[in-house]
Structure 1
Amino acid sequence: MKTPVKATLVAIAVAIVLAIVGIVIAITQQSADPAPPGGERLQTVRTDSHVLDDGGTDAVTVVEFLDFECEACGAFYPLVEDLRSRYAGDITYVVRYFPLPGHVNSTQAALAAEAAAQQDRFEDMYHLLFETQGEWGEQSEETPEVFRDLAASLGLDLAAYDAAVADPATLERIQADKSDGETLGVRSTPSFFIDGEPVVLEAWGDLEIAIEKAVSERGVND
């Protein structure tokens, strides 16, 4: 039998976990407006967008606008990876940048990812950034050296990496993603679109439900 003190501690721990989950869900509830301005259907994927999984012409397209420093994105990361695995071949999964101004290192992280992409290592950096988010997130100032160390750990050509990070075109590429997101109604991260339509998240299972529904309607599994 639990002592009153242990029972109280367990109750407090559960309450804290539930509060964190509630905060993340609240953040994502307002991920995207129900429809783009004017009701028109806007483009969610461009030819230079980063495709993590290509399910082919009949696949459902899932697009995530993310901020590598965003704690909610970090919380969704393992869920996204699980869904990518379970729906492999049924979905095309696309990642787009949406660094938020309140996160000091968000742009630096995006620059690291885009510089890695120029060496065909985007997905490796994508994983590494989320896996190390707790080490460089929530800092008081930018720490570009941390991301250079991550690039070194991946064995990237550091001269090419440095040149890419310093190139204004790399930042412009990131800002182009964010501009598209803003036009689509993205206000926070992560924001998801399935076949061009925004996903409204109110609970953890909503993303999977939306993907399953889209896959079923497409008949991808047939």
Structure 2
Amino acid sequence: MILRSKNILLMALATLFLISCQNSDTEAQSSASADSDKLIITEYSDYQCPACGYFHPIVERLKQNMGDDIEFRMRYFPLNSHRYAALAARAAEAARNQGKFYEMHSMLFENQEQWSRSSNPAMAIVNYAREIGLDMNQFTDELNAAETQEAVMQQRQEGVSKGVNSTPTFFIEGEKVDPLPKSYEEFEAIIQKHLEQQQG
């Protein structure tokens, strides 16, 4: 009887530990907005994708006009069909390490046609890093670091696990936006509907 009780206790402790490990990543990701009522919009995006480039100014306008009510979260999803998409994602991640993710993110989308069609996209991206004032030694080291590659691929795999197979793909509070809105006005209306449901 004593042995059986010990086994039950050990199983309970093991189960508790497993649950805490499974929840740890989710808690870390949501902690920034745990005290916020903002609507969370997650975008899986590819820096070399023309459709993602089209949505970039739409997203920026939504953030500007609805920023008190919404929070956009960018996730890397470099497509295999885009040769330099993973490189661009690594550049954004390396810039994040120096507190300048948004600056690199904007550079890559606003100059998408130039660097993606350049004879040397890597050099163009390095020049963007220099232009936004990054420490170039740190940037070049981290651009090719295994940790940076892993961070990008983890986000891509997260997207795959949610059924993402094209870019851009948006989720509003975990619900996939399908079909994609064709304009700012359509996207704003979708968000407004979710806000009303959240407040109601």
TM bucket, shorter chain: 0.7 to 0.9
User: What is the TM-score normalised by the length of structure 1?
Assistant: 0.71
Are the equivalent residues in 2 in contact too, given 1:201–1:207 (CA < 8 A)? no
SS of the residue 1:63 aligns to = strand
Q: Compute the displacement of 1:48 (Å).
A: 6.0
SS of the residue 1:156 aligns to = coil
Q: Compute the displacement of 1:201 (Å).
A: 2.3
Q: Counterpart amino acid of 2:196?
A: S
Query: Considering only aligned residues, what root-mean-square deviation do their CA atoms show, in Å?
Result: 2.3
Q: Distance in 2 between matches of 1:211 and 1:142?
A: 39
Larger radius of gyration: 2
Are the equivalent residues in 2 in contact too, given 1:103–1:138 (CA < 8 A)? no
Map of 1:24 onto structure 2: none
Map of 1:214 onto structure 2: 194
Correspondent of 1:193 among 171, 180, 185? 171
Q: Distance in 2 between matches of 1:185 and 1:129?
A: 25
Map of 1:149 onto structure 2: 127
SS of the residue 1:73 aligns to = helix
Q: Deviations over 1:104-144 (max 9, x none)?
A: 110111011000000000011111111110101246x7631
Structure number with higher helix proportion? 2
Q: Distance in 2 between matches of 1:186 and 1:151?
A: 29
SS of the residue 1:128 aligns to = helix
Share of identical aligned residues, percent?
33
SS of the residue 1:82 aligns to = helix
Aligned residues: 172
Map of 1:119 onto structure 2: 98
Are the equivalent residues in 2 in contact too, given 1:151–1:158 (CA < 8 A)? yes
Map of 2:55 onto structure 1: 76
Q: Compute the displacement of 1:208 (Å).
A: 2.1
Map of 1:97 onto structure 2: 76
Q: Compute the displacement of 1:202 (Å).
A: 4.8
Runs of 4+ in structure 1 deviating by more than 4 angstroms, as ranges, are none
| Superposition map of 1:1-222 within 5 A | 47=28, 57-138=36-117, 143-205=121-183, 206-219=186-199
Gaps of 5+ in 1: 1-44
Q: Compute the displacement of 1:80 (Å).
A: 0.9
Q: Distance in 2 between matches of 1:129 and 1:69?
A: 8
Q: Distance in 1 between matches of 2:29 and 2:167?
A: 21
Q: Distance in 1 between matches of 2:28 and 2:145?
A: 20
Instruction: Identify which of structures 1 and 2 has the higher relative contact order when contacts are C-alpha pairs closer than 8 Å and 6+ apart.
Output: 1
Are the equivalent residues in 2 in contact too, given 1:98–1:181 (CA < 8 A)? yes
Are the equivalent residues in 2 in contact too, given 1:108–1:142 (CA < 8 A)? no
Distance 1:203 1:93, change over 3 A: closer
